[in-house]
Chain A
Amino acid sequence: MTLYLARRLVTMLLTLLALSVVVFVVIQLPPGDFITSYIARLSGSGETIDQAVIDTLRERYQMDAPLLSQYWAWLKGMLHGEFGYSFEMKLPVSEIFSERIGISLAVELLAVVVMWAVAIPIGIYSAVKQYSLGDYFATVIGFFGLAVPNFLFALILMYICYVWFGVTITGLFSPEYMNAKWSLARFLDFAQHVWAPVLVIATAGTAQLVRVLRANLLDELNKPYVLTARAKGLEKRKVIMRYPVRVAMNPLVSTIGWVLPTVISSSFVTAIVLNLPTLSPILLRALLSQDMYLAGALILFMGVLTMIGTLISDLLLAWIDPRIRLGMVGAN
């Protein structure tokens, strides 16, 4: 087990290194660099910029050095915990991170938890009572959840809350708590605001999970081992929870790996519409303006999340499924 973990950690580091190369190349791919897009934006708004200032900037950030040494400088900085400087926001990347990462993870983890907590019971109900009224209801709502874009749902929610209840649901804090220190009052304020974005972000994922779990469970419910368990004299409810549900969870557990990164990268429109101080709108801005250090750090961060998630889901899978633990997949 220790050996397995050690091996996994080493491969994770190597993967991370490979990812950093890819990230760097991708960021460098579009023509121009941050300075040129900066100048373009300034001249677009009618301002001019002194050539001397440009040259100083270029030199300071080694814009004209060969790619390899730019990459090396970036990587070396990261190993020292310096993620570089965001030209766009005029702040060190680490500062932007520390400001937003906590809130971001809180909102997104909450969304994932809500997703699972809602989806699993509905999925089980839908499969066990296939073609019942409740199943059709869950199916219809589920398809709405899948089909309605998140941002539209966010806009509708905002409109309803404002027109019917006179509440604005944008942001995560009321203005007076915006920059306050954490306190019970600030936490309660956060709790009052966070439900809307969590609801919006979680809908599509929930609908998808319900469909997946329903389909998996329908396959498992007809397996002979379910009949065996019932023939033992076990209560039907217990049979379902103890046997087919456990087997049907496997494919869901294996999605844990990418669920967080997916939520972060897919929630940016919602975050913009609802004006959330999370990481995802920053990622979009950084990519649009070729803000190299910020974008690179964000993408790498998501890569790390994916790898940690995959490790967790692999360990969980091995824990719940002996066939995987003992290295035999679907022995016949």
Chain B
Amino acid sequence: MNQSSNEPVLQVRDLSVDFPHKDGAFHAIESLSFDLYPGKTTCFVGESGSGKSVTARAIMNIVDPAIITQGSVTIIDSKSQTPLELTSLDTDSEAIRAVRGARIAMIFQEPMSSLSPVHTIGQQIIEAILLHQDVNEAEARKRAIEALAAVHIHSPERAVDRYPFEYSGGMRQRAMIAMAIACEPDILIADEPTTALDVTTQAEILLLIRELQRKKGMSVMFITHDMGVVAEIADDVAVMLNGRIVEHGEVDQIFHAPTHPYTRKLIDASLGLEQSDARPLPARPDTPLIQIDDIRLQFGGHKSWFSKTVHGAVVALESVSLSLWPGEILGIVGESGSGKTSLGRVLMGRYKPVSGNVIYTDRQGRERDLTQAASFRDKQVYREIRMIFQDPYSSLNPRMTVEQIIAEPLKINGLASGHELRERVATLLERVGLSASMMERYPHAFSGGQRQRIGIARAIALEPRVIIADESTSALDGSVRAQILDLLLDLRDELGLSIIFIAHDIGVVRYLCDRVAVMHRGRVVETGLAHQVCDAPIDSYTQRLIAAVPRPDPRQRGLRSV
């Protein structure tokens, strides 16, 4: 399978991990066998719960509360060729601790929560260096600064004394990588390191990992659920399903001659978004539903006593003009910090722009200016414009049943009660593809995709005219995401909704949206039909953004080294 002339640095044989449970053990991974080679990247793909992260932790022998029930993990010293078996070592022994961080290092998905909030970046890197290298504190600090410089962090002498929350998302992940490579490990395990980042930052981090890998000849184990990323960086791919590797092979074979049906399904799901055809545009009436006209929004700053100019303000939106037509799905894309979410909040009356207006034509045909608080007073706008949120876990109250969650907006607006209310909730659940018998359960009993369906049911309960979906599918796995997107399309057709879909995922926007507005630093840089913007962008920023999206085909690799 692998034509590498090298010897493997890590051999995993027949590895199984169980989570003990009172009703018998849950098998997280079962009899995995694979090798990692120096200088090669092996991608592990699969949906959440398929055992990818558990595999990574099992290699480090940090699986508690789970237990490794069988198998071996052998790390082979590249110089002396001495093998060391890790699973038989005590989980807190000196021998295993000498491997962790020094020979196998790991980076994680959420760089903010993976770094201690109360220690500086420097303290955390220096700690790793002092643990494994025989140097004094001053030398360790010097090496930490070198490591930060190696991951291209500006003025590393100053950055070393900063705290993680003073870094941006991309910088935090760089710092995390600096910490991992500070001791020059043979193997780097990267567990979804770019999932929480936007596409342009993702491209930078992927390039950085590849650059470091080439320089140091590291073996990289890269865990992801994004087939585009896999196509971009992998040498080998292992496809995981329910705790087993169902297919393992070279990247080109996996993408162009997959043998397992599940692999084919994963690739089709990612291609489906990429290669979907344009749908006919809905008929456009004379007046738009929402007309955003030249708005400017700023935060902070203070007014001078003598003039009306504001100093030190952060401009979130600058001369933004957009229209939303009835029955249309309008995508708003851009990097984090580009003003997408702020724009959504302006429409909900949460932020008040300093100039410009937003005219919404309500069900009775009256025009309301959404920049005026008075427009929201009779709550009609709140009934007609609803939101679906990004995180299906934190946007549902864990102490309310599904019935209570969905019934709440109906009750607050006095639209139904008692038996009728229950029937409305049942109908809503069925409409979003859930069973009415689920209404007595609490949100924790549902998967991420099901929770997002509950959130959608709550949003459509009041028969709104506009739905604002803020990154509503970015927390979901590929196939679940596709189902939610199709649900939104169906609902649009059935209920005649207009949807504003805020996202950073170009593939999703291309699939779902009729028109797209691209935002960059608070401005709309390009608007147009979704397929035209995604396939043939005109603006130079849009071109860069689209180029940064990894294509799910290893023969079309687009990342270039900087």
**Is B110 among interface residues, defined by CB-CB distance under 8 A?**
yes
Classify chain B's interface size: 20 to 34
**Is A247 among interface residues, defined by CB-CB distance under 8 A?**
yes
**Is A102 among interface residues, defined by CB-CB distance under 8 A?**
no
**Is A326 among interface residues, defined by CB-CB distance under 8 A?**
yes
A230 with B118: CB separation less than 8 A? no
Question: Given the complex of chains A and B, what is the CA–CA distance between A229 and B105 in angstroms?
Answer: 11
Binds B, one of A14-22, A172-180, A219-227: A219-227
Instruction: Give the contacts of B109-134 with A (CB-CB under 8 A).
Output: 109-110, 112-120, 127-128, 131-132
Question: Given the complex of chains A and B, what is the CA–CA distance between A247 and B113 in angstroms?
Answer: 12
Q: Which of A230, A235, A237, A243 has the most CB of B within 10 A?
A: A230
**Is B139 among interface residues, defined by CB-CB distance under 8 A?**
no
**Is A323 among interface residues, defined by CB-CB distance under 8 A?**
yes
Contact digits for A225-248, partner B, Cβ 8 Å, 1 yes 0 no: 101111111111100000100110
Given contacts A231-B62, A232-B128, A233-B97, contact A225 B113 (CB under 8 A): yes
Query: For residue B485, which residues in chain A have a CB less than 8 angstroms away from its CB?
Result: none
Given contacts A236-B92, A322-B118, A323-B118, contact A231 B165 (CB under 8 A): no
Query: For residue B120, which residues in chain A have a CB less than 8 angstroms away from its CB?
Result: 322
Instruction: Give the contacts of B11-59 with A (CB-CB under 8 A).
Output: 57
Given contacts A227-B108, A322-B118, A332-B112, contact A232 B165 (CB under 8 A): no
Since A227-B114, A322-B118, A323-B165 are in contact, a sample of 15 more A-B pairs with Cβ atoms closer than 8 Å, ordered by chain A residue number, is: A224-B109, A224-B110, A228-B116, A228-B176, A228-B179, A229-B116, A231-B60, A231-B100, A231-B105, A233-B100, A236-B91, A247-B117, A321-B117, A322-B163, A326-B166
Say how far B185's CB is from chain A's closest CB, in angstroms.
Answer: 10
Q: Which of A223, A227, A232, A321 has the most CB of B within 10 A?
A: A232
B108 with A331: CB separation less than 8 A? no
A233 with B165: CB separation less than 8 A? no
Instruction: Give the contacts of B130-175 with A (CB-CB under 8 A).
Output: 131-132, 163, 165-166
Query: For residue B110, which residues in chain A have a CB less than 8 angstroms away from its CB?
Result: 224
Query: For residue B62, which residues in chain A have a CB less than 8 angstroms away from its CB?
Result: 227, 230-231
- Closest A residue to B166 by beta carbon equals A326
B132 with A247: CB separation less than 8 A? no
**Is A89 among interface residues, defined by CB-CB distance under 8 A?**
no
Query: For residue A237, which residues in chain B have a CB less than 8 angstroms away from its CB?
Result: 92
B132 with A233: CB separation less than 8 A? yes
B105 with A234: CB separation less than 8 A? no
Query: For residue A236, which residues in chain B have a CB less than 8 angstroms away from its CB?
Result: 91-92
**Is B98 among interface residues, defined by CB-CB distance under 8 A?**
yes
**Is B388 among interface residues, defined by CB-CB distance under 8 A?**
no
- Enumerate chain B interface residues (CB-CB to A < 8 A): 57, 60, 62, 91-92, 97-102, 105-106, 108-110, 112-120, 127-128, 131-132, 163, 165-166, 176, 179
Say how far A254's CB is from chain B's closest CB, in angstroms.
Answer: 14
Say how far A211's CB is from chain B's closest CB, in angstroms.
Answer: 21
Q: Can you sample 20 A-B contacts with CB below 8 Å?
A: A225-B113, A225-B114, A225-B117, A227-B57, A227-B108, A231-B101, A232-B100, A233-B98, A233-B99, A233-B100, A234-B97, A235-B97, A236-B91, A246-B118, A247-B117, A247-B118, A320-B118, A321-B117, A322-B118, A326-B163
Q: Which of B91, B101, B115 has the most CB of A within 10 A?
A: B101
Say how far B113's CB is from chain A's closest CB, in angstroms.
Answer: 5
B100 with A328: CB separation less than 8 A? no
Contact digits for A307-332, partner B, Cβ 8 Å, 1 yes 0 no: 00000000000001111001010011
Say how far B261's CB is from chain A's closest CB, in angstroms.
Answer: 34
- Closest A residue to B165 by beta carbon equals A331
Query: For residue A230, which residues in chain B have a CB less than 8 angstroms away from its CB?
Result: 60, 62, 100
B113 with A224: CB separation less than 8 A? yes
Question: Given the complex of chains A and B, what is the CA–CA distance between A232 and B185 in angstroms?
Answer: 11
Question: Given the complex of chains A and B, what is the CA–CA distance between A319 and B57 in angstroms?
Answer: 34
Say how far A23's CB is from chain B's closest CB, in angstroms.
Answer: 39
- Closest B residue to A130 by beta carbon equals B65
Query: For residue A228, which residues in chain B have a CB less than 8 angstroms away from its CB?
Result: 106, 108, 114-116, 176, 179
A-B contact count (CB 8 A): 80
Among A224, A233, A243, point to the contact of B108 (Cβ < 8 A): A224
Question: Given the complex of chains A and B, what is the CA–CA distance between A331 and B118 in angstroms?
Answer: 12
Query: For residue A227, which residues in chain B have a CB less than 8 angstroms away from its CB?
Result: 57, 62, 106, 108, 114
Question: Given the complex of chains A and B, what is the CA–CA distance between A228 and B119 in angstroms?
Answer: 13
Query: For residue A243, which residues in chain B have a CB less than 8 angstroms away from its CB?
Result: 116, 119
Among A232, A246, A321, point to the contact of B101 (Cβ < 8 A): A232
Query: For residue A232, which residues in chain B have a CB less than 8 angstroms away from its CB?
Result: 100-101, 127-128, 131, 179
Query: For residue A323, which residues in chain B have a CB less than 8 angstroms away from its CB?
Result: 117-118, 163, 165
A235 with B92: CB separation less than 8 A? yes
Query: For residue B112, which residues in chain A have a CB less than 8 angstroms away from its CB?
Result: 332
Question: Given the complex of chains A and B, what is the CA–CA distance between A231 and B179 in angstroms?
Answer: 11
B118 with A233: CB separation less than 8 A? no
- Closest A residue to B120 by beta carbon equals A322
Say how far A313's CB is from chain B's closest CB, in angstroms.
Answer: 16
Say how far A38's CB is from chain B's closest CB, in angstroms.
Answer: 55
B166 with A234: CB separation less than 8 A? no
Say how far A238's CB is from chain B's closest CB, in angstroms.
Answer: 10
A233 with B163: CB separation less than 8 A? no
Question: Given the complex of chains A and B, what is the CA–CA distance between A80 and B70 in angstroms?
Answer: 79
3 smallest CB-CB distances across A and B, nearest first, come from: A233-B101, A331-B165, A233-B100
- Closest A residue to B115 by beta carbon equals A225
- Closest A residue to B104 by beta carbon equals A231
Query: For residue B102, which residues in chain A have a CB less than 8 angstroms away from its CB?
Result: 233
Question: Given the complex of chains A and B, what is the CA–CA distance between A237 and B94 in angstroms?
Answer: 13
Say how far B309's CB is from chain A's closest CB, in angstroms.
Answer: 26
Given contacts A227-B62, A228-B108, contact A233 B114 (CB under 8 A): no
Question: Given the complex of chains A and B, what is the CA–CA distance between A225 and B109 in angstroms?
Answer: 11
Question: Given the complex of chains A and B, what is the CA–CA distance between A224 and B192 in angstroms?
Answer: 13
Instruction: Give the contacts of A245-282 with B (CB-CB under 8 A).
Output: 246-247
Query: For residue B114, which residues in chain A have a CB less than 8 angstroms away from its CB?
Result: 224-225, 227-228
Say how far B120's CB is from chain A's closest CB, in angstroms.
Answer: 8
- Closest A residue to B176 by beta carbon equals A228
- Closest B residue to A239 by beta carbon equals B92
Query: For residue B163, which residues in chain A have a CB less than 8 angstroms away from its CB?
Result: 322-323, 326
Say how far B340's CB is from chain A's closest CB, in angstroms.
Answer: 16
B115 with A231: CB separation less than 8 A? no
Say how far B352's CB is from chain A's closest CB, in angstroms.
Answer: 23
Question: Given the complex of chains A and B, what is the CA–CA distance between A237 and B112 in angstroms?
Answer: 23
Question: Given the complex of chains A and B, what is the CA–CA distance between A65 and B100 in angstroms?
Answer: 79
Question: Given the complex of chains A and B, what is the CA–CA distance between A21 and B142 in angstroms?
Answer: 59
Instruction: Give the contacts of A277-309 with B (CB-CB under 8 A).
Output: none
Query: For residue A247, which residues in chain B have a CB less than 8 angstroms away from its CB?
Result: 116-118
Question: Given the complex of chains A and B, what is the CA–CA distance between A227 and B119 in angstroms?
Answer: 15
Query: For residue B115, which residues in chain A have a CB less than 8 angstroms away from its CB?
Result: 225, 228
- Closest B residue to A325 by beta carbon equals B163
Question: Given the complex of chains A and B, what is the CA–CA distance between A235 and B100 in angstroms?
Answer: 10
Query: For residue B113, which residues in chain A have a CB less than 8 angstroms away from its CB?
Result: 223-225
Among A225, A320, A332, point to the contact of B116 (Cβ < 8 A): A225
